Structure formats: C-alpha cells, structure tokens
Amino acid sequence: MFFRRLRRHLNNRNTTGNRDGNRDTRPRIFPNGAHILIIGMLIPSFLWTFALVLYPPSVFTGNFPNSNVFLLTAHPDDESMFFGPTLHRLSKNNVSVNIICFSTGDNEGIGHVRKAELEAAVSYFGSEKNPVNLLQIVDKPNIFPDSMTVEWNSTLLALHTKDIIESYISPENKDSINILTFDYFGVSGHANHRALFHAAKLLSDESRIAAYSFKPENGGSTTKREEESILPQNVVSTKYHVWTLKSVPIYRKYIFVLDSFISYLSYFASEEALKKKSFTIVSSFEEYSKTLSAMTKAHVSQMKWFRYAWTIFSRYMVVNDINLLDEEYNLGF
C-alpha cells in the first residue's frame, strides 16, 4: 500500500519535472543535493573519528605539576577561539583551571559587554565536578589597552601576572605553577598575544635563574641573584612552568580537524628531546560543541560572519598543540 503510493508519487514527480512529456524512467546516477550533503558529513566525521583514535580523549599526556594552570589571555574570546580543546581536557583531568584575561576587549568601546560575555563563556568550560576555578579580568586600559599597535610592557605584564597568581595560590603550591599562554607568534601575530608570551617567558627565565643562583654549589649568592635578575625587583621565588599554544602556518590554520594529522606527522619527525615537551589535543564532538556554544551563545557581540567561518574551519577550535617552554627550546613554528 505504502509502496504503491510512493511509486505513484515518484512517477508524478518525474512526469511533472519533464518538459517534453516523455517519462524518464532511468535511475538517477548523478549525485543530488542530499548525496552531497551526506557524503560531505560522512567524510569529515570519519576523519574526525580517526583523529580521535590517534589522539584519544581518555589519554592525557600533559604533565601539570600540582594540577593547577593559569591561562593568560589578552581579550575576552581568546579562551574560546584558541584554547578550547586544552581547557576541556585539563578540566576533565582534574587540573584546576584559572583564567586571567588582560583586557576587557574595549577596542570598539564595548568592553563592558565583552566582560560579561567572558563571564558567561567560562561556564562552557570545565565540568560540574571541576568548573573553571577562577576568572580574573584585568581592566587597565592605560597600561594594557586592547590594541593591535600598542606593545604591552612585558616586564609590567610579568609583574602583574605574578602578583595575581601568588595572591590566589596556596603556599604549599608556590614552588610549582603552570602558566599556559600563546607562543611567540601568538596564533595571529597580535601584539597583545605576543606580549603575553614574553611576559610568561620572563617568569620562566627568572624562576630558573632563581633556582640556579641560590644554590651554593653553583657559586650562587643573593648578590649574584640580584645582578642577574631580569625583573626589576627581586621577586620570583616560585617555579613557573610555561606551556605555550603552538602557532601554525596559514595553510594549516583553516583545515579544522584535518590538521591533527599534520601534527601527528610532525611529532614523529621531531627530535626525541622535543617530543617529551609537546603534546597534541583533539577535541571530541562533545567538547567541540561546547566550544562552539561558548563562541556563538556567550561571545555574541563577536559573531560576525568571519567568526562563524572561524568556528567551522579553524583548527584551533578542535586541535591544540602544547609545548613546554624551557631553556633549550624556544618553540614556535
């Protein structure tokens, strides 16, 4: 019954769609819109699944001492546009996630709106058991304005970072703190992103000098420590481990999850020493959809057409390569 009706329906359709009146009974062999749509969704899903086999969400290779991390960003939405995959994975692995954003994103005069958007966005990161622990938005436009052309003073930025972190961290965790931020290119080359890298590097260098100089077997003394100090005050007694988000060249930037395969190949081509200091995270479908919601439902004022394109095509929405910065390797791309 049903099939007869269906056949009649299909026949009618063919007849009406055929201008010269001959009924075309040949099976359709050319793909129509539905085929293209189905294939267009199957292939990416298959590749994404394959990427998750290479980088299983259950395996976390990052080793974060003391299980705390402070993410330094420059503008509200940096955390969602660039760091989503890492934030989800850290939280899933019981790492306490803290976000310090160094501007309200007031470049177009809507800093107060964007501040509220960031506060809403953090609820998409972290789980019920382990929500984002701290969000601090620094509103100091005279020293850290949201601007592509103003270079933030990285010394000042390092001092601010240190003050904020040390006011939150308990004394027993003070000898080991993780900072996560941009690498020296800062994904897009934005001056504010790069300044964050330089500030984090100052803290990393400074804490290494401190660790070295204070040891008498290295000929260290407090005087020597002060001479070598990069920061103006003799400030750093904490060990800062700095993790950076690797910037990729433009041809890798807009190929979404496919870029994880390039990460995979480049990892195996890299030196042994470097392998120990880097890892890649690929978001699961669920994690990606949360990052997508953070962008589209929280950072509403930012959702121009090119941001929609970003959320669909950018590899940073699903893939993050994280490198540990230390004295031997100044990792970038």
Minimum gap (Å) between residue 155 Cβ and ligand NAG:
4
State which residue, 156 or 211, has the beta carbon closest to ligand NAG: 156
* Contact status: 155 vs ligand NAG (CB under 6 A): yes
93 binds ligand NAG (CB under 6 A): yes
- 232 counts as binding ligand NAG under rule CB under 6 A: yes
Q: Are strands 134-137 and 240-245 parallel, antiparallel or unpaired?
A: unpaired
Residue 296 DSSP one-character state:
I
CB contact at 8 A, 134 and 98: yes
- Pick the piece of the chain touching ligand NAG (CB under 6 A) from 31-39, 149-157, 288-296, 325-333: 149-157
* Residue 107 binds ligand NAG, judged by CB under 6 A: no
Give Rg (Cα) of the chain: 25
* Ramachandran angles phi, psi of 85, nearest 5°: -55, -40
Nearer to ligand NAG, 62 or 76 (CB): 62
- Interhelix angle 84-92/285-293, rounded to 10 degrees, is 120
Choose between 154 and 263: whose C-beta lies nearer to ligand NAG: 154
**Of residues 62 and 111, the one with the C-beta less far from ligand NAG:** 62
Are residues 54 and 260 in contact, defined by beta-carbon separation less than 8 angstroms?
A: yes
Q: Are the beta carbons of 295 and 77 closer than 8 angstroms?
A: yes
Cα separation, 154 vs 194, in Å, equals 9
Size of the site for ligand NAG (CB under 6 A): 6
Q: Which is nearer to ligand NAG, 153 or 188 (CB)?
A: 153
Nearer to ligand NAG (CB atom), residue 143 or residue 312: 143
Tokens of 267: 């990892």
SS3 101: strand
The Cα–Cα gap between 91 and 242 comes to 18
Category of 256 on φ-ψ map: left (φ > 0), alpha (ψ -120 to 50) or beta? left
Q: What span, in angstroms and rounded, lies between the C-alpha atoms of 66 and 238? A: 13
Determine if 120 is a binding residue for ligand NAG (CB under 6 A).
no
What is the smallest separation between the CB atom of 197 and ligand NAG, expressed in angstroms? Answer: 16
**Could you tell me which of 85, 93, 100 has the C-alpha nearest to residue 64?**
93
In angstroms, give the least distance from the CB of 156 to ligand NAG.
4
> By CB under 6 A, is residue 153 in contact with ligand NAG?
yes
Least separation in angstroms between residue 29's CB and ligand NAG is 51
Choosing from 18, 94, 127, 221, the residue that interacts with ligand NAG (CB under 6 A) is 94
Among the candidate windows 96-104, 151-159, 194-202, 273-281, which touches ligand NAG by CB under 6 A? 151-159
Among positions 250-309, residues that touch ligand NAG (CB under 6 A) are none
- Closer Cβ to ligand NAG, 40 or 232, answer by number: 232
Structure tokens at 264: 């995979």
Please, which residue, 108 or 163, has the CB nearer to ligand NAG? 163
Q: Which of these ranges, 49-57, 152-160, 279-287, 312-320, lies near ligand NAG under the rule CB under 6 A?
A: 152-160
Min dist CB 100 to ligand NAG, Å, is: 18
Q: Rounded distance, CA 312 to CA 188, Å? A: 17
Residue closer to ligand NAG by CB (options 47, 156) is: 156
Torsion of CA 35, 40, 43, 49, to 10 degrees: -120
Strands (E), 102-218: 134-137, 177-182
CB of 143 to ligand NAG, least distance (A): 9
Where do contacts with ligand NAG occur on this chain (CB under 6 A)? Answer: 93-94, 153, 155-156, 232
